[in-house]
Amino acid sequence: MANRHGHRRFGTIRRLASGRYQVRYRGVDGRLRPAPDTYPTRRDAERVLTLIESAMIRGEWIEPERGKVTVHDYADAWITQRPGLRPRTIDLYRWLLAKHIDPYMGRFPIGKLTTEIIREFRMALLAAGVSESMTAKAYRLLRAVLTTAVDDRLIQRNLGRVSGAGDEEPAERPVLTIDQILLLADLMRDRRFRALVLLSTFASLRWGEAIALRRTDIDTERCIVRVRAAYVELSTGPLMLGPPKSRAGRRTIRYPAAIAVDIRQHLDTYTGPDVHDLVFTGAKGRPLRRGNFQKAVRRREAVQSLGVSGLHFHDLRHTGKHTRGSDGSQPCGPDGADGTRQSKGRDDVPARHRRSEPSHCRCALRASEQAP
């Protein structure tokens, strides 16, 4: 139905003293409200009213007030209410929000965001020296938050659609040779951590899984370790005990018999007698923290001695995947086979270091490398 001359069927337009035009209309809730902006011409104002009416007819109209919530407030609620997030993931999301998102757009109304603002946000992080990997993580968090904002009818569409902005291309991690693993174990200034290096490598354990192991989780007769829990160290300080990273993380793994003596010696020397005592602890018997471990073993000096730059503890698990099998560990099957195979690493450790390596471990692991 066409509008009568001088009278609109939907909404009203009036000319302000400034010469600009203001739009007012009734929403589906019956409330009379103005459009968020004023417009330079009457035709522009009429076009806005047409778009608003069309959105109402299609059921796509969104109350402008809902878009006034700030990016910080909505993202903070999103993290709190998101089901299934692990404590470490929650910790990371809150850190990304506070460190990277809030400084740029935390107080910005979510309904005012544009693709240009999000693109500029990403470029600002990169220009400030934030790594591409961390920038991609911050962008993916923002994109996920905006996706839920669409479902909650705060915004009409997700504007966080910057092609390639969420992609990561992490650098290839180093893979150690058998010689380097044994040398690293020997370089542990605190001998209680020698077995930690060996077991984490050849059972392909994550840091949190290794430090959560208890005496009852290790069967030294059958060379079996059971992963049933993991510690998570939050950036705020607390150390939380929970399930492994994924459902597949609950597993039983056979470690090489060549390190069985080292594991038994560690249990006899450094682990308490109770079946629930932690296998790997600090000097005072408390759960082991990453920072304390790195300080106790002088991690930087040990890594330099290996000649492998940028080595992380998690790279031991990565090395185990190449050394033991494609899945990173040897699950215990009916026959209990080890299933180890030749490492892809390069044997470049000086010979003067090899003479100090334990012969029983070296020979057995060498044999497993050469097995067909």
Residues 144-196: pLDDT tens digits?
Answer: 999 999 888 888 777 777 777 777 777 778 888 888 999 999 999 888 899 99
What average pLDDT does range 333-355 have in this prediction?
36
Query: Which structural domain, as residue segments, surrounds residue 214?
Result: 178-370
Q: Which residue has the tokens 């099957």?
A: 333
State the pLDDT at residue 361.
Answer: 54
Same domain, 47 and 81: no
pLDDT in tens, 284-304: 888 999 888 988 888 888 888
267 and 335 in a single domain? The answer is yes
115 and 132 in one domain? Answer: yes
Residue 277 has pLDDT above 50, yes or no: yes
User: Mean pLDDT, the chain, as a whole number?
Assistant: 81
pTM score, two decimals?
0.65
Are 288 and 303 within one domain? yes
Residue 83 forms part of a structural domain: yes
Higher pLDDT, 263 or 340: 263
Instruction: Summarize pLDDT for 69-100 with one digit per residue, the tens.
Output: 899 999 999 999 998 888 889 999 999 999 99
Cα within 13 Å of Cα(66), Cβ side: 11
Within-domain flag for 79: yes
Residues 245 and 361 in one domain: yes
Least confident of 108-112, 135-139, 153-157, 257-261: 153-157
Statement to judge: residues 30 and 90 lie in one domain: no
pLDDT for the residue 352: 35
If one counts the domains in the chain, the total is 3
Q: Does residue 241 lie within any of the structural domains? A: yes
Under DSSP, the state recorded for 22 is: E
Highest mean pLDDT among 27-36, 107-116, 315-324, 362-371: 107-116
CATH number at residue 16: 3.30.160
Domain membership flag for residue 2: no
Model pLDDT, residue 330: 54
Residue 292 falls within a domain, yes or no?
Answer: yes
Torsion of CA 336, 338, 339, 342, to 10 degrees: -170
Q: Are 345 and 319 in contact (CB under 8 A)?
A: yes
Q: Please report the pLDDT score of residue 362 as a whole number.
A: 53
More confident residue, 310 or 335: 310
Give the tokens for residue 243.
Answer: 């399930």
Indicate whether 122 and 197 sit together in one domain.
no
* Confidence at residue 215, expressed as pLDDT on a 0 to 100 scale: 96
Give residue 237's pLDDT.
79
Position 29 scores a pLDDT of 73
The reported pLDDT for the residue numbered 7 is 58
Concatenate the DSSP letters of all residues of 145-190 into one string: HHHHHHHTTSSSS-----TTTT---PPPPP---HHHHHHHHHT-SS
Looking at 21, 43, 61, which one is the last position of a domain?
A: 61
Let me know the angle formed at the C-alpha of 329 by 324 and 331, rounded to the nearest 5 degrees.
Answer: 115
CATH number at residue 123: 1.10.150.130
Is 40 found in the same domain as 106?
A: no
In the chain, count H helices and then E strands.
15, 8
Closest CA to 183 of 322, 313, 300, 354: 354
Establish if 5 belongs to a structural domain. no
CA distances from 135 to 99, 128, 160, 162, 169 (A): 11, 10, 14, 13, 12
pLDDT confidence of residue 355: 33
* Domain membership flag for residue 345: yes
Q: Does residue 132 sit in the same domain as residue 228?
A: no
Same domain, yes or no, for 356 and 213?
A: yes
Given 45, 61, 77, which residue is the final one in a domain?
Answer: 61
- Residues 105 and 28 occupy one common structural domain: no
Q: How far apart are CA 104 and CA 119, in angstroms?
A: 12
Mark which of 151, 167, 191 sits at the end of a domain: 151
The DSSP symbol for 285 reads: S
What's the average model confidence in pLDDT over 14-23?
A: 90
Asked, for residue 301, whether it belongs to a domain, the answer is: yes
Q: What is the pLDDT of residue 112?
A: 84
Instruction: Provide the 3-class DSSP secondary structure of residue 319.
Output: helix
Query: Long-range contacts for 236-245 (Cβ within 8 Å, ≥24 apart)?
Result: 236/91, 239/287, 239/289, 240/87, 241/212, 242/86, 242/87, 244/206, 244/209, 245/86, 245/206, 245/208
Task: Measure the CA–CA gap between 155 and 111, rounded to whole angstroms.
Answer: 6
Are 197 and 216 part of one and the same domain? yes
Residue 363: band (very low, low, confident or very high) from pLDDT cuts 50, 70, 90: low
224 falls in which pLDDT band (50, 70, 90)? very high
Cβ atoms 79, 58 nearer than 8 A: no
